[in-house]
Structure 1
Amino acid sequence: MGDIKEFKIFCDESNHLIYKDNPTLRSKVMVLGALKVQSSEIIRINKVIKYLKHKYNYNKEVKWTKLSLIQKKFYDELLEFFFSSLNMWFQAILIPDKTILQHDIYNQGSHDLFYYKMYYQALRNLIEIDTQIKIYLDYKDTKSGDKMKQLESVLCNKFKKSIDLKIFTIQSHESNIIQLVDLLIGAISYKARDDIEHTSEIKNYIVDKIETLASIELDAGTPPWENKFNIFKIHLDKGKC
């Protein structure tokens, strides 16, 4: 295949389940995130993240729901490393209000179909022609295999088979890069929520850190041409979801 470019894309989602009037599932906000990495840089990036975990004695999985205030310096260095890297690109899809989704009209009555439509939107912006792409989705459930294959097929057709693309599943604890995605989408989702008091010191700190590094407001979206840290905010009032 000559000197074809090779990339890996690591994906995660926040609050992807269908909205229910349930205190434990009450967030209306849904975020999907995808982080593209040049394959030749994977080993180096993993080494850096492992080094930072060792440096700060961070002996656990990085998860937005399990942040630690005493580890502010670890999060600082991890985020600074991402934003300073020339070989990592992030794309998020922000759905501010799942309660007004019209699945019966636009998604054949299926929230799962909408879920994969949104992943298509995130991934297509990270894919270049004449490249080899391996995509890793955070494991969702045992029924996701068929839709993953459909997503793979749609993406290949979109680029008229000018790419070599495969989709796999992976558990988040197996990938430091997916854990980084979890941190980024967690911050986006948290900032976009209007149903909670934003009282968490560490969560507010990380939101402020990312907004400073990216020079954006996380709940506002970004211009479409932004390619390092892009947030596509879905405007549901257009009635097309």
Structure 2
Amino acid sequence: MSEIYNVYCDESCHLEHDGQQAMVLGGVWCPESKRQEISQRIREIKVKHGLGKDFEIKWTKVSKSKLDFYMDIIDYFFDDDDFHFRGLIVPDKTKLNHDAWEQTHDEWYYKMYFNMLKVIFDPQAKYRVYLDIKDTLGADKIKKLHDVLCNNSYDYSRQVIERVQQVHSHESEQLQVADLLIGALSYLHRGLDTNVAKLKLIERIKQRSRYRLTCNTLLREAKFNLLIWNGGAL
């Protein structure tokens, strides 16, 4: 029987005219059989730090007073062999020329999502993709994304990518960890440096991943996989 994996995706600064240069798409994934165990462990870390088990982990909440908590979350991610991350960074959206490629920003966005996810997908396994509910990603876009992922993977009968659906981030610890890691990459690649706690968290990610976070990892890097997209072929 094929292993089932859950993939939890989020994004930062992905809109065409949001005034931000760098865009980050990313996702964490784990075996579905480990989902509850991972969620429970993250809730235990929340309680250990005096937070409610329903406290929502978010990059925007990283502060000096909660730094130890967020450090523990990062360490837990890197210590759990069943928990993985893949991120795609577009360093400068202002250089995009959609007209030259005869595509809309939305069409390019779907291509980037596939580019981000394709190294995760194993044709011998099954995947359930969950995305944070955002006003910018309605039901039509979810259906379109599922179509694009399946078509580009030659998975026309949806035997590999079983579902793509939206979930609320406060209901998913895994999605919250995705938000944290994507937020760190976005902060770094946008050149921000005013929040000392966030800078320390980024340094911890660098230490634990053993990557500078500004270069591509090897394609088969399983734990913390990065692609800095420079406009090359998909």
Whether the TM-score (by the shorter chain) exceeds 0.5 is: yes
Conserved? CA contact 1:116–1:147, under 8 Å? no
1:152: Cα distance to partner? 1.7
Would you say the 8 A contact 2:131–2:164 is kept in 1?
Answer: yes
Alignment of 1:191 onto 2:188: yes
- 2:65, 2:85 → 1: CA distance? 27
- 1:4 matched to which residue of 2? 2
- Farther off after superposition, 130-139 or 40-49: 130-139
Match of 1:26 in 2: 19
Matched to 2:95, the amino acid is I
* 1:209 aligns to 2:204 (yes or no): yes
What's the counterpart of residue 38 of structure 2? 45
Deviation for aligned residue 1:164: 4.7
Q: Deviations over 1:172-206 (max 9, x none)?
A: 12211111011101111111123x4x131101000
Report the TM-score when normalising by structure 1: 0.88
Q: How many angstroms does 1:143 deviate by? A: 6.0
2:136 and 2:23 map into 1 onto residues whose CA distance is: 21
Could you say which residue in structure 2 is the equivalent of 1:125?
119
Instruction: Specify whether residues 122 and 107 from structure 1 end up closer, same or farther in structure 2 by C-alpha distance, changes over 3 A only.
Output: farther
Would you say the 8 A contact 2:23–2:186 is kept in 1? yes
The equivalent residue for 2:29 is 36
Counterparts in 2 of 1:143 and 1:155: CA distance versus 1, 3 Å: closer
Determine if contact 2:6/2:29 at 8 Å carries over to the other structure.
yes
Q: Does 1:112 align with 2:106?
A: yes
Q: Match of 1:146, as an amino acid?
A: D
Matching of residue 76 in structure 1 with residue 71 in structure 2: yes
Q: Which moved more, 1:140-149 or 1:41-50?
A: 140-149
Superimposed CA distance per residue, residues 178-236 of structure 1 (whole angstroms, 9 cap, x where no aligned partner): 11011101111111123x4x131101000000000000111223222212101110114
**How far, CA to CA, are the matches of 1:207 and 1:121 in structure 2?**
24
Q: Quick check: 1:10–1:136 contact (8 Å CA) kept in 2? A: yes
RMSD: 1.9
- What is the identity percentage for the equivalent residue pairs of Structure 1 and Structure 2? 34
Q: 1:14 corresponds to which residue? A: 12
Tell me if structure 1 keeps the 8 A contact 2:63–2:198: no
Shift of 1:142: 6.9
CA distance in 1, matches of 2:44, 2:171: 16
* 2:160 is aligned with 1:174: no
The offset of 1:134, in angstroms, is 0.8
Does the Cα contact within 8 Å between 1:107 and 1:113 map onto a contact in 2?
Answer: no
Partner amino acid, structure 1, of 2:108? F
